[in-house]
Homo-oligomer: A and B are copies of this chain.
Amino acid sequence: MTAPRRESSSSAKGEQTRQLIVNTALRLFRERGYEATTMRTVAGEAGLSVGNAYYYYPSKQHLVQEYYDRAQELHDAAARPVLDRETDFEARLHGVLRARVDTMQADKHFAVGFFRFAADPQSPLSPFSPESAHARELSIALYAEAVRGAPGVKMPPELRDALPELLWLYQMGVVLYWVHDASPNSAKTYALVDQTVPLVVKLVGLARYRLLRGIIFDLLDLVRELRAPPS
């Protein structure tokens, strides 16, 4: 968790330049969008040469990774009040998911621009990639906390163990919808969240009963089996 995430240059000078570059880049992304922001512009605005920017970040996409990490921190912060206040599972899940959409929504105009990298399995920006492991684990941990802090909800232990990751997948689905959602202020995505959270909670509750128990367990087996090799 506290392992060094930088592959080179822990010196003060290097770290400073590194921050300068990424801050300039993220500012320009916000101002002009991802496509319209040129590596030459980033370097120029930061008072550096293009080659120098590439000394710190091996590609334009890697600048986006930093954005992901910061977005995850914002999500954590935005979800905190709900997690500290509520004990009802539905309220907690709803709060965490809404917080996700809220934090993304602020940057929608440019975040959609590099979403396509996230969908590319080859890209380090894929949420399933090793490079994204840090942000992914933090995100799953948030859902684990949402489940843990709701003692009232009853479910089979197998489901309880797998639930955080399943909820993270559910979040990925919401994000996928959000990216395609052109409604004003992403109203449809909020509607999706508002209406699917009760359904998910209901399903979790129903998982104890015979009719669904079989299906749910089949699904859990499937997820275990189809996971990526590393885990």
Contacts and interface: CB of A to CB of B under 8 A. Distances in A.
A122 B112 contact: yes
Nearest to A196: B222
Contacts of A202: 215
Contact of A116 (B123, B195, B206): B123
Interface string A174-188: 000101100000001
Stoichiometry, copies per complex: 2
Interface string A125-136: 010100000000
A215 B199 contact: yes
A125 B119 CA distance: 14
Contacts of A115: 119-121
Interface residues of A, number: 33
A211 B126 CA distance: 37
A180 B121 CA distance: 6
Determine chain A's interface SS by DSSP, over half rule.
helix
Interface string A106-120: 000000100111111
Nearest to A117: B116
A72 to B, nearest CB: 21
Contacts of A77: none
Contact of A192 (B177, B192, B222): B222
Which 7 interchain pairs have the tightest Cβ spacing? A119-B119, A116-B120, A121-B180, A116-B116, A195-B222, A188-B226, A121-B179
Given A115-B120, A119-B120, A199-B219, 9 more contacts: A112-B121, A112-B122, A115-B119, A188-B226, A191-B226, A195-B222, A199-B215, A209-B211, A211-B212
7 contacts: A115-B119, A115-B120, A116-B116, A192-B226, A195-B222, A202-B215, A209-B211
Interface of A: 112, 115-123, 126, 128, 177, 179-180, 188, 191-192, 195-196, 199, 202-203, 206, 209, 211-212, 215, 218-219, 222, 225-226
